[in-house]
Chains A and B, each alone.
Chain A
Amino acid sequence: MSGLDRRSLIGGLAAATLARPALAQGAKGRVVVVGGGFGGATAARALHAAGLAVTLVEPAERYIACPMSNAVIAGLRPVDLQVFVYEGLARAGLTLARTKAVAVDGAARQVRLAEGGTLPYDRLILSPGIALRFDALPGYDAAAAEIMPHAWKAGAQTELLARQLADMPDGGTVVLGVPGNPYRCPPGPYERASLIAYLLKTRKPRSKLIVLDAKDTFSKQRLFEAAWARLYPDHLEYVPLAGGGQVTAVDPKTRMVRTDFAEYQADVACIIPPQRAAPIAAAAGVADRSGWCPIDPVTFESRLTPGIHVIGDAAIAGAMPKSAFSANAQGKVCAEAVIDLLAGREPVVPKLINTCYSLVAPDDGISVAGVYHPENGVLADVAGAGGTSPLDASAEMRHREAAYGEDWFRTVSHAVFG
């Protein structure tokens, strides 16, 4: 593989010297993008398409996408459909550095790479995603995650949880621990609860799922709760914060999950721990004490270190949720802003859209949408727009939303990685 890496490391140089489209006319400078997920790969592609010299830093050979991975966990979808490679980006002529960024010198404008070299930049875009906090929940560390998977970064964890659920004998108890805000993909835990309940109902009907939540309100709540009452009254029990739902400790040896009020003996425990921006954000000096990155809502430039832009899950994007849809939309807007800044133009004040589709059962979908714009220094909801699917949507409409959700995933992953 390293021969290919080396070739792709320099593969984009020739393309970068081709004539520039008018868009980037006057824009001069080197852009480095760290993180080839939905945010970073989108931004890198947009900058490259506009004719800028851009290097995408990403160590992983393959990108394993989280959206739709809850269906994999419930045995409803093959994991292969989640896997993408970077050859498409290399073929498009983009320069890839197949290594990890380990430090950023914001004053000298340089990124230091794991294998030793440095990359100078005029503008740096970070889209490194999240780190799971293994210091936040007593008993839950990296070793515990091998027994009580979070499956909140797709890949081996997704397959581990899928296997544990498939192997669990009927009559078992599944416990799902959900963190407080903010975290990656606000409706994700509830989609996961729905699809696990579907698996139990259809294949292990004497089993039960207990959802322990560290909060009382959540994304698409009325839609999820209506679906659970309709579909899973005997298989899903939801315990909110006010009902004592916050997980306060776990014991992986015995698969015990504790709250301040009770102990839950699990046969399968999925624990989603609190999160923060991936470590490179703190190393670059763009994460604040919350662990996330404050940004300017027009350009996504860090409030803490000039010249560095942060997009995707790592950013504090106001009302915009941490989603692949948001990361993709932000990648495009941030690329435009970087082009404008490099050309000495005033960036356009943007509007962005997010839509998160969730499945409550196979072929049964719901969504939440929003339109966002900068207001008082943050990305705020455009009043009167957005919201969730109607509570009384017909089965036919929910069927269509499930199809639209799958189609969104296909379209966006093709646009980003294809």
Chain B
Amino acid sequence: MRILLLLALAAAAGTAGAAEERPPPGASSCSGCHGPADGGAVPSLAGLPAEAIAGALAAFRAGTRPATVMDRIAKGFTEEESRAIAAWLAARGGT
């Protein structure tokens, strides 16, 4: 199970390399708002593939996706950092 997760993680992150389970910079802050899927107001990230998370972050950063707060947050991360966060979150089921 863990090996599968790590493979998925390494593949999605591209450059993350082997056995990188440590959260990339910024990733551990996301779960302050994004909890497990339970119908709260903030959308859950559970089940979202890395590509969807990274794509959303890119759109928030560019201002092309409507937001109350994610635009202000996404601008704090580069494309590369966002991809690493997305891969890490997706591999852990979104939290």
Contact = CB atoms under 8 A, between A and B. Distances in A.
B32 A371 contact: no
B68 A389 contact: yes
Contacts, number: 107
A382 B81 CA distance: 13
A352 B26 contact: yes
A397 B42 contact: no
A61 B15 CA distance: 47
Contacts of A333: 28
A23 B40 contact: no
Interface in A136-161: none
A350 B26 CA distance: 6
A293 to B, nearest CB: 21
A387 B72 contact: yes
B32 A367 contact: no
Nearest to A350: B25
B37 to A, nearest CB: 11
Interface string B10-52: 0000000001011111101111111100001110000000000
Contacts of A387: 72
A23 B88 CA distance: 13
A85 interface: no
A400 interface: yes
Secondary structure dominating the interface of B: loop
Nearest to B70: A369
The size class of the interface chain A forms with chain B is 35 or more
Interface stretch (A71-79, A88-96, A196-204, A407-415): A407-415
B93 to A, nearest CB: 14
Given A353-B73, A400-B41, A403-B41, A348 B24 contact: yes
A215 interface: no
A414 B72 contact: no
Nearest to A365: B68
Given A367-B69, A404-B68, A415 B30 contact: no
Interface stretch (A162-170, A172-180, A324-332): A324-332
A371 B76 contact: yes
A30 interface: no
Nearest to A389: B68
Contacts of A384: 75-76
Nearest to B21: A23
Nearest to A410: B40
A159 B26 CA distance: 37
Given A336-B23, A348-B22, A369-B73, 5 more contacts: A332-B29, A382-B76, A387-B72, A408-B42, A415-B35
Q: A-B pairs with the 4 shortest C-beta distances?
A: A371-B76, A385-B76, A353-B29, A411-B35
